[in-house]
Amino acid sequence: MTTSDFSDTAVRDRLRKKVLWRLSPFLGLMYLVNYLDRTNLAFAGPAGMKTDLGLSAAAFGFASGIFFLGYLVLEVPSNLALHRFGARRWLARILVSWGVVASLIAFVPNAESLYVLRLLLGMAEAGFAPGVLLYLTYWFTKRDRARAMALFLVAIPLTSVVGAPIAGALIQYGAAILPGMSGWRFMILMTGLPAVILGVICWFYLTDRPEGATWLTGREKQLLVADLRAEEGDGEKSHRVRDALLQPRVWLLGLTYFGILYGLYATGFFLPTIIAGFKETYGVEYSTLEVGLLTAIPYGVAAVGMIFWARHSDVKGEVVRHFAIPATVGGIGIVAAMYAGSPFLAMAGVTIGATGILCSMPPFWGMPTRLLTGAAAAGGIALVNTLGNASGFVGPFLTGWLSDLTGSQRSGMWIVLVLLFVSAAVSVLVFRGAFDEQVEREPVG
pLDDT digits (tens, 9 = 90+) for 134-154: 899 889 888 788 888 888 888
Q: For residue 235, is pLDDT > 60?
A: no
Chain-wide mean pLDDT for the chain?
84
Neighbours of 176 (CB within 10 A): 9
Q: Is residue 411 classed exposed, middle or buried when 0-12, 13-18 and 19+ CB atoms within 10 A define those classes? A: middle
- Please list, residue by residue across 2-14, b when 16 or more beta carbons sit within 10 angstroms of its beta carbon and e when fewer do: eeeeeebeebeee
Query: What percent of the chain has a predicted confidence (pLDDT) above 70?
Result: 91
d(CA 15, CA 219): 10
Q: Find, among 136, 389, 370, the residue nearest to 257 by Cα.
A: 389
pLDDT at 417 (0 to 100): 92
pLDDT at 270 (0 to 100): 67
Query: Are the CB atoms for 29 and 234 separated by under 8 Å?
Result: no
Neighbours of 48 (CB within 10 A): 16
CATH of domain 12-441: 1.20.1250.20
Longest dimension (CA), the chain: 73
Helix 374-406 to helix 248-276 angle, to the nearest 10 degrees?
40
Q: For residue 295, is pLDDT > 90?
A: no
- Please list, residue by residue across 112-147, b when 16 or more beta carbons sit within 10 angstroms of its beta carbon and e when fewer do: eebbebbbbbbbbbbbbbbbbbbbbbbbbebebbbb
Q: For residue 101, is pLDDT > 50?
A: yes
- Give residue 254's pLDDT band: very low, low, confident or very high (50, 70, 90): very high
Mean pLDDT in residue range 120-129:
90
Q: Find, among 163, 251, 210, 189, the residue nearest to 12 by Cα.
A: 210
d(CA 443, CA 438): 8
pLDDT at 3 (0 to 100): 46
| Boundaries of every domain in the chain | 12-441
Q: Is the dihedral of CA 417, 418, 419, 425 positive or negative?
A: positive
Query: Are the CB atoms for 88 and 111 separated by under 8 Å?
Result: no
User: Which amino acid, 376?
Assistant: A
Segment of 101-110, 239-248, 257-266 carrying the highest mean pLDDT = 101-110
Q: For residue 244, is pLDDT > 80?
A: no
pLDDT at 124 (0 to 100): 92
Q: For residue 298, is pLDDT > 50?
A: yes
d(CA 142, CA 135): 13
Which has more confidence, 177 or 421? Answer: 421
pLDDT at 34 (0 to 100): 87
Q: For residue 36, is pLDDT > 90?
A: no
Q: Output Rg (C-alpha) for the chain, integer angstroms.
A: 22
Q: For residue 177, is pLDDT > 60?
A: yes
- Give residue 423's pLDDT band: very low, low, confident or very high (50, 70, 90): very high
Mean pLDDT in residue range 274-292:
75
Segment of 138-142, 235-239, 252-256 carrying the highest mean pLDDT = 252-256
d(CA 197, CA 169): 22
- Give residue 1's pLDDT band: very low, low, confident or very high (50, 70, 90): very low
pLDDT at 289 (0 to 100): 72
- Give residue 332's pLDDT band: very low, low, confident or very high (50, 70, 90): very high
Q: In terms of pTM, does the model score above 0.85?
A: no
pLDDT at 158 (0 to 100): 85
